[in-house]
């Protein structure tokens, strides 16, 4: 039986329902019964209707800085993890946010993404060369987990032998930034943030002396409106790029493959029409978004949303799993349908905090999933009920064992 067997939406649980294999019936119920819902657990209003979320995400009367201030008041201002966060894009507003985003955007120009595609393809092929002959592997641990770290490290110029260590620190940092944070989570986050910052500071000073063609050198040299990044900002930027794209992209690959395996007709369609992969990845993002909620923001004045008044000082977030399956926005929303035309999902959010790495994440998922399907004659789930991540607002299977037979060329 599901742990969700109460009649109403559980007030004593993280509203993103981590660990739940299928939270969607609950999101439907919440959208129907209480679409602008106050979650005591998150101490925030959670929006579930697409139209409400679309308006809210573009509304400048909400602030990330004010939200981080409320976290400082709750957990203490001196924590390394909160100091780290205060320099991140996700926790800045207004002009300071736009300035930093303009600097960061230089990493994700269409030319840079096109240039990295052959590297992604080579990494995926090398991985499948090893995995396919065995006939059975874990999509998460063996295939999806290494890819985003390999790709962002190559872009940034982080030595290959170091990225396993960085990935572990990033996991520690991510664990500590759910809507709800326990003392143990914060301690792990603090330790990881310190280790990450020490490592990067050394690498940055080496790069200052000997610049190369990588992104780290580009960020060091970057100047926007007469201002350069400080060393602290550089560390936070690199940590952000590593952290933001790591678990999310891994989960997109895992959730996407899981959706295909649970819908064999759609897998057959993709196998017969490989060019459909671009749209297929958009449908995967809509159907089961890896980020189930954006960081909350605090209202700077009283704001009316969907018939409720959010008071000045109260926090608001969105349940993307609910908005992406809103029947008022998407026809037959629970159907995983690779022929769907309307694909304007919110998986990468909207407005000023729209995902910076969306084009990179798309490229990685299109290549990882597309090439797996192209190179296999059959793929099946080796275990029926994958376990989902138990904490935080990021959703994805912890492991996904599959059986495969390679396609003969």
| Residue 128 or 152 having the CB closest to ligand HEM | 152
Residues 285 and 321: their CA atoms lie apart, in Å, by: 10
| Separation between Cα atoms, residue 284 and residue 292, nearest integer Å | 13
The CB-of-294 to ligand HEM minimum distance in angstroms stands at: 3
Helices (H), 274-346: 277-287, 320-323
How near is the Cβ of 106 to ligand HEM at its closest, in Å? 13
What's the min distance (Å) between Cβ of 306 and ligand HEM? 19
Closer to ligand HEM by Cβ: residue 132 or 154: 154
Phi, psi of 313 (to 5 degrees): 95, -10
CB atoms within 10 A of CB 106: 13
**Contact (CB, 8 A) for 388 and 20:** yes
Residues binding ligand HEM (CB under 6 A): 89-90, 101, 152, 240-241, 244-245, 248-249, 252, 290-291, 294-295, 347-349, 353, 355-357, 360-361
DSSP of 100-164: HHHHHHGGG-HHHHHHHHHHHHHHHHHHHHHHGGGSEEEIIIIIITHHHHHHHHHHHT--GGGHH
Closest CB 151 distance from ligand HEM, rounded Å: 8
Nearer to ligand HEM, 66 or 406 (CB): 66
Q: Output 10 or 351, the one with its CB closest to ligand HEM.
A: 351
CA 251/CA 253 separation, integer angstroms: 5
The residue among 79 and 248 lying less far from ligand HEM, judged by its C-beta, is 248
Q: Which C-beta is closer to ligand HEM: that of 166 or that of 361?
A: 361
We find the least distance from the C-beta atom of residue 33 to ligand HEM, in angstroms, to be: 25
CA atoms within 13 A on the CB side of 237: 27
Report the residue number whose CB is nearest to ligand HEM: 357
The distance of closest approach from Cβ of residue 354 to ligand HEM in the complex, given in angstroms and rounded to an integer, is: 7
């Amino acid at each position: 039986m599901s742990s969700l067997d109460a009649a109403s939406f559980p007030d004593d649980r993280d509203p993103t329902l981590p660990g739940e294999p299928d939270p969607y019936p609950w999101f439907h119920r919440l959208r129907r019964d209480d679409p602008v819902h106050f979650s005591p657990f998150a101490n925030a209003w959670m929006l579930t209707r697409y139209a409400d979320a679309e308006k809210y995400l573009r509304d400048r009367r909400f602030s990330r800085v004010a939200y981080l201030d409320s976290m400082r008041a709750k957990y203490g201002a001196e924590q390394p993890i909160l100091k780290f966060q205060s320099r991140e894009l996700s926790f800045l507003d207004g002009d300071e946010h736009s300035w930093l985003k303009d600097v960061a955007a230089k990493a994700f120009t269409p030319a840079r993404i096109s240039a990295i595609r052959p590297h992604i393809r080579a990494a995926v092929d090398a991985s499948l060369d090893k995995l396919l002959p065995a006939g059975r592997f874990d999509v998460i641990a063996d295939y999806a987990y290494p890819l985003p770290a390999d790709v962002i490290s190559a872009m940034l110029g982080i030595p290959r032998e170091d990225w396993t260590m960085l990935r572990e620190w990033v996991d520690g940092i991510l664990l500590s930034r759910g809507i709800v944070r326990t003392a143990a989570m914060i301690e792990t986050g603090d330790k990881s943030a310190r280790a990450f910052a020490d490592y990067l500071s050394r690498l940055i000073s080496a790069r200052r002396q000997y610049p190369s063609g990588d992104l780290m050198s580009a960020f060091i040299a970057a100047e926007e409106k007469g201002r350069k990044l400080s060393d602290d900002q550089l560390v936070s930027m690199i940590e952000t790029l590593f952290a933001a794209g790591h678990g999310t992209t891994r989960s997109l690959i895992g959730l996407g493959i899981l959706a295909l395996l649970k819908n064999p007709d759609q897998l057959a369609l993709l196998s017969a029409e490989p060019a459909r992969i671009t749209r297929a990845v958009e449908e995967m993002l809509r159907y089961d978004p890896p980020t189930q909620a954006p960081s909350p923001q605090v209202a700077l004045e009283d704001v009316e949303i969907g018939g409720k008044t959010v008071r000045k000082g109260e926090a608001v977030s969105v349940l993307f799993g609910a908005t992406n399956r809103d029947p008022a926005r998407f026809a037959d929303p629970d159907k995983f349908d690779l022929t769907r035309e309307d694909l304007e999902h919110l998986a990468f959010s909207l407005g000023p905090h729209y995902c910076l790495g969306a084009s990179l994440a798309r490229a990685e998922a299109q290549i990882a999933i597309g090439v797996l399907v192209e190179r296999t004659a059959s793929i099946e789930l080796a275990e029926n009920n994958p376990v989902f991540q138990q904490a935080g607002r990021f959703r994805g299977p912890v492991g996904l064992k599959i059986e495969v037979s390679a396609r003969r060329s």
